[in-house]
Amino acid sequence: MLSRVADNLYWMSRYLERAEHTSRLIAVKLESMIEQSPGEAEISWRRVVTALSGEGFVPSEAAETFDITRALAFDPFNASSLIASLRFARDNGRQVREQISTEMWNRLNRLYLRLAPLNLASFWNDQPAHIFRETVEELHMLEGTAYSTMRHGEGWYFLELGRYIERAQLVSRLLDLHFGPASRAGSSPHHLDWVVLLRFCTAFEAYCKVYTANIRRDRIAEFLLFDAEFPHSVRFAVERLTEALAHVAIGAPAPRRAACERLAGRLKASVDFGQIDELMGGTIDIFLANISAQCEQIHDAVYAAYIGYDAETVL
Amino acid sequence: MQHALFASAEERSRLGGPVGLTADARPDRSGPYANYLLGRAYDEMFTPKGGVRPHYAELHKRVAELPADELRRRQHACEQSFLHQGITFTVYGDNQSTERIIPTDLLPRIITAAEWARLEAGLKQRIQALNLFLHDIYADGRVLKDGLVPRALIYGSRHYRREMRGLPVPHGAYVNVCGTDLVRREDGTFVVLEDNLRVPSGVSYMLANRDVVRRAFSAIFRSAGVRPIEHYPQDLLATLKSLAPFQEEVSIAVLSPGVFNSAYFEHAFLARQMGVELVEGHDLVVNDNSVYARTTSGLKRVDVIYRRIDDDFIDPLAFRADSTLGVPGVFNAYRAGNVVIANAPGTGVADDKAVYAYVPRLIRYYLSEEPILENVETFLCREHKALGHVLANLDRLVVKAVGESGGYGMLIGPHASKAERDAFAEKLKADPENYIAQPTIQLSTAPCLVDGAIEARHVDLRPFILHGEQTTIAPGALTRVALKRGSLVVNSSQGGGSKDTWVLSA
């Protein structure tokens, strides 16, 4: 596979994962506001904003819910907004138009063309969460379309790699906001916040099946970090990205492959054998920061080995 | 390329001339055809007396039977389909770019089996002669020694590549993909307006139009006996493969300037349909005169490049040094015989507007045959007598700069003001070798859907010819449409659209 194509597929997938995450956080947040007091809602909004803000967007203290939602969802100049993520995903997809199936492209293209002209003000007073729910559904359908219409070859595994590196980082970041320093600095999460956290990760029902509806912070942390079978847990994501790495660039020289696989194996070991009791003693933020850092290292190693390498070195 | 018109329908009515026919002479022009105007041009659907041509009868009837809104609905469905597939070009604005589809017209243009047989034979003859001509001027130059074509015309051409001299090309096939533009004269005869021998585009629209129109008119499509064109990508693949020096595991790539090129959809489409890699210049590296693609597993050899980049940009070491689209060193790899470039560099010298005028003579010279397809009558301003005629008749001629395309650098005499014509005459006298002139041509008209009603619009025809070890022509074409009433400009860059073209099997 062309290195450029791998690069486009990988980023298309990362941006789609980011778009889905952004969409779901906004949907859950808008839905749960009804159940919260204005004060609680305010604190919980700040958490969403922190989770979704890239370098491009820092809302002012006085910003209203409407303005924040608009910036996070529809501001084309905010590089971390939902619409920007979709645009980047589509731009990457367009550059590998011959590699992805027509069904995938049409679905992605339609979704973007539908959302791009939307004006939040026009439906803000009529179930604004609805459009974000639909976007999540559309993105799930896109994932299914990819699964069933694209060859599960190297390109597919670059999509997997992008999706799960992004997911491991996004979930780690969310956990950090709920368990790390921010949660200890006076605004510690309440019962509803924990439920909302599970919903952010589309994990509420899955959690209840494992632990019953007994909402406890250590169990939530354990579930979202270490559950082996839940698709939005960090461990699941790491498992998948490790598997994806084993399937890409099969023909590359062994030393190049080894560099990537070693890093992935180390990350996998830390989530496979992690113990929640040890982390809840106060080291969880270090642990989460470590996961993020290791994901970055894997990304860099993949680029050095398969994508951005100097042609002279392989001749 | 731009087609000038003698007088548009509006102008004729302003001049008091006849517009269309009287009501009693058009029994078949009822219902959605009520506003259909017949002018001097040959009409694809109607005879001059208003009757329906037999091969259009079925379509004419079905369309007339459809509820008024149904045509509009189907047209909308076609457009949505194009938009969702991303068959668009981008218009860049200040800080927002918008994507537009190239307008597609729902009503197919129909060509009979007999007409097609003649076109096919004529196009094969023409590409054969053009390839022999290219081979000749890059080898012995026999045609120049014999004085049939002036040396200065070839060696002075901006598109002549002296780097190609003496270089053998597989099967002597310089032009592997050709898009020839034809128009119908008023008597209904197809004549060649232009050969596009460099990087002709539009074939993806031929296929995309077919895809949507077949669905919109499925019943009539089945009963009409339309010849299929869906095998074009396989034919293209076979043509490219036949150029490789060996036939096992040939590695083929489509070289595109990238996503910002207006034909990018087509590049990606063809690569996908052929199942080959779509590459950009920076994906390829040349080492030891071989070309490699940079892949995740290392470098992979490339044997045939179907390039969609102009000669000038293909190799900054050989041609334009400031090109960032090309591949440094690719031309040397080509000279060394380690990679095939299709079309070969240097084909542009033969689709020059001045060389065009010589093509009928070239056919007689190389093939000892009479040309099956005629040219549009062309005056070479480099010839003293012709120049005098052109200057005396500027108000009735279209004058074109030889090296330009896309409708640039030309004068449409009947539409220009006296001042414009005088200014152009000065340019012409200063550099007559750079110009040719042609009479204004009335392109044929075909029924098109305009705001829910059916009106006549001028069309041309661009079939695509593949030439490698063999010559193949998909039985279809891109029919380009001048969407403005009376206009003869079919270029997509100047507001033209396109429509599906049905070639009947019997």
Query: pLDDT by residue (tens digit) across A205-263?
Result: 999 999 998 999 999 999 999 999 999 999 999 999 999 999 999 999 999 999 999 99
Q: Percent of chain A beyond pLDDT 70?
A: 95
Q: Residues A139, A183: one domain?
A: no
Asked if pLDDT for residue B250 goes beyond 90, the answer is yes
Determine, yes or no, domain membership for A113. yes
The H or E element that residue A146 is part of is helix A129-149
Is there a single domain that holds both residue A166 and residue A311? yes
What is the nearest CA distance from A274 to chain B, expressed in angstroms?
33
What residue in A sits closest to B254 (Cα-Cα)? A98
Give the highest mean pLDDT range of B46-55, B412-421, B450-459, B461-470: B461-470
Pair B133, B143: CB distance under 8 Å: yes
Cis omega before residue B343 (within 30°)? yes
Q: Is A92 a domain residue?
A: yes
User: Does A157 fall in a domain?
Assistant: no
The number of C-beta contacts closer than 8 angstroms across A and B is 75
Which domain range does residue A223 map to?
162-315
Does the distance separating the beta carbons of B85 and A251 come in below 8 Å? no
Task: Indicate if A221 and A104 belong to the same structural domain.
Answer: no
Inter-chain touch A3–B295, beta carbons under 8 Å: yes
Question: Based on the domain organization, do A3 and A128 belong to the same domain?
Answer: yes
**Chain B residue with Cα closest to A103:** B85
Tell me the torsion sign for CA atoms B417, B420, B422, B428. Answer: negative
Which residue among A124, A150, A176 closes a domain?
Answer: A150
- A301 — contact with chain B (CB < 8 Å)? no
pTM for this predicted structure: 0.88
Higher pLDDT, B133 or B433: B133
Inter-chain residue contact A249 with B297, CB threshold 8 Å: yes
Q: Which CATH topology does B246-336 take?
A: Rossmann fold (3.40.50)
Mark yes or no for CB contact A113/B84 under 8 Å. yes
Residues of A in Cβ contact (< 8 Å) with B306: none
B298: nearest CB among A6, A110, A252: A252
Task: Note whether residue A136 is domain-resident.
Answer: yes
Out of A150, A172, A206, a domain closes at A150
Mutate to test the interface with B, among A3, A90, A110 (most CBs of B within 10 A): A3
Which CATH topology does B377-439 take? Dna Ligase; domain 1 (3.30.1490)
Residues A139 and A170 both lie in one domain: no
Closest residue in A to B99 (Cα) is A113
Domain boundaries, chain B: 246-336, 377-439
CA B279 to chain A, closest CA, distance in angstroms equals 8
Nearest to A97 among B272, B280, B283 (CB): B272
Q: Which two tokens stand for residue A151?
A: 């060859």
The verdict on A315 and A180 lying in the same domain is yes
In this prediction, residues B433-456 reach a mean pLDDT of: 91
By the CB < 8 Å criterion, does A97 face chain B? yes
pLDDT class for B374, splitting at 50, 70, 90?
very high
Tokens of B466: 């593949």
User: Is residue B163 very low, low, confident or very high in pLDDT (cuts 50, 70, 90)?
Assistant: very high
Asked whether the predicted pLDDT for residue B6 surpasses 80, the reply is no
- Cα separation, B476 vs B116, in Å, equals 9
Query: Which residue in B has a C-alpha nearest to residue A76's C-alpha?
Result: B96
| Burial class for B286, CB neighbours closer than 10 Å (0-12, 13-18, 19+) | buried
A284 token code pair: 């969880």
Co-location of A182 and A315 in the same domain? yes
Measure the CA–CA gap between A295 and B483, rounded to whole angstroms: 54
- For A251, the closest of B83, B269, B298 (CB atoms) is B298
